[in-house]
Amino acid sequence: MARHSFRTVLWEHSPGEPGSWHFVTVPAEAAADIVLEAGPRRGFGSVRVEARIGSTAWHTSLFPESVGTMVLPVKRAVRLAEGLEAGASCEVTVRVVRG
């Protein structure tokens, strides 16, 4: 499976709320390539991926956000390991996982 890398900004879904989810938006071009590679999608239109930011890798899913883009949830453990807060720019690599 191909690796898709892009630079994007971490954002918080509900700023100020405890346990608020954090995401990065996958650029439209990368999202289109990932959707084509993934084939049929799972529940909610999701695509299973292995994601990496810095030296931290984890398994998760990408979810459709709006027409042509997807979002990647970034777990608290990843944010802490990589020293990331909302508004930080980061290099992200994702690889589609089958099965």
Residue 52, domain CATH = 2.40.30.100
For the residues of 5-51, what is the DSSP string, one character each? EEEEEEEESSTTSTT--EEEEEPHHHHHHHHHHH-S--GGG-EEEEE
What is the reported pLDDT for 39?
76
Q: Are 34 and 62 in contact (CB under 8 A)?
A: yes
- In the chain, the amino acid numbered 36 is L
Q: Domain range holding 33?
A: 3-96
59-84 tens-digit pLDDT: 999 999 877 889 999 999 999 999 99
Q: Residue 60: what pLDDT? A: 95
Strands 89-96 and 56-66: unpaired
Residues 6 or more apart in contact with residue 83 via CB below 8 angstroms:
none
Query: How many structural domains compose the chain?
Result: 1
pLDDT tens for each residue of the chain, 99 residues long: 799 999 999 999 998 888 889 999 999 999 999 988 887 767 677 899 999 999 999 999 999 987 788 999 999 999 999 999 999 999 999 999 986
Q: Tell me if the pTM is above 0.85.
A: yes
